Amino acid sequence: MSAAALPDVRRLIGYRAHGAARLVLEGHAALEDVEGSLAAGQPETAVLMAHDLIQISLSIRGLATAGELSWPQGQASFDPFAGVDPQEVAEGDALAARGLDHGDEAWLEELRAHLAETESRLGYPEPLPYVRSGAGMFKAVGLVRTWAAHLEKLGLPGVLPGDWALPGD
């Protein structure tokens, strides 16, 4: 009987910690942007925001294999599709683009389901906190504290955006 190969512990911890942080800090906000654009009667903006949402979601999925832990927003060097199956990229792009013709509640539910599937893959036993709720930020801080020592021990970057972690003036 052969033993199954152990997972790359650094990759696994980076995926779960950075994936969760990216989802609660970026993914939820991107979904809100889509919802707000649709509610305001701005379907083209909703589709642009949906493309952002899909890129964030797929970048989280890619962390499991080869994605970049650092999330330098707006940087041309960041590849949100690193480590993601090309079929998933094509499906995600098609989902976002469908909003041009079908920017309705059913489309919005598909986007929510896509993000929920990404969250499910992270393997947490309960839903991740929603930071824009009353208790969400406190729960998110607890999540950060859970991972901080492990990330540091493994020489991985912290999960908070750089400007959040700077000492006060």
- The answer to whether 81 and 62 have CB atoms below 8 angstroms apart is yes
For residue 8 the two structure tokens come to: 């790359």
Alpha-carbon gap, residue 108 to 119, rounded angstroms: 17
pLDDT at residue 73, as a whole number: 64
Beta-carbon contacts of 27 under 8 Å, excluding residues fewer than 6 positions away, are 53, 56, 57, 60, 115, 118, 119
Give the pLDDT score at 169. Answer: 46
Segments making up each domain of the chain, as ranges = 15-70+80-161
In tens digits, the chain (169 residues) has pLDDT values of 445 555 688 899 999 999 999 999 899 999 999 999 999 999 999 999 999 999 999 999 999 999 988 877 667 888 999 999 999 999 999 999 999 888 799 999 999 999 999 999 999 998 888 877 666 565 666 677 787 887 888 888 878 765 555 555 4
Q: How far is CA 140 from CA 5, 37, 106, 132, in A?
A: 32, 26, 29, 10
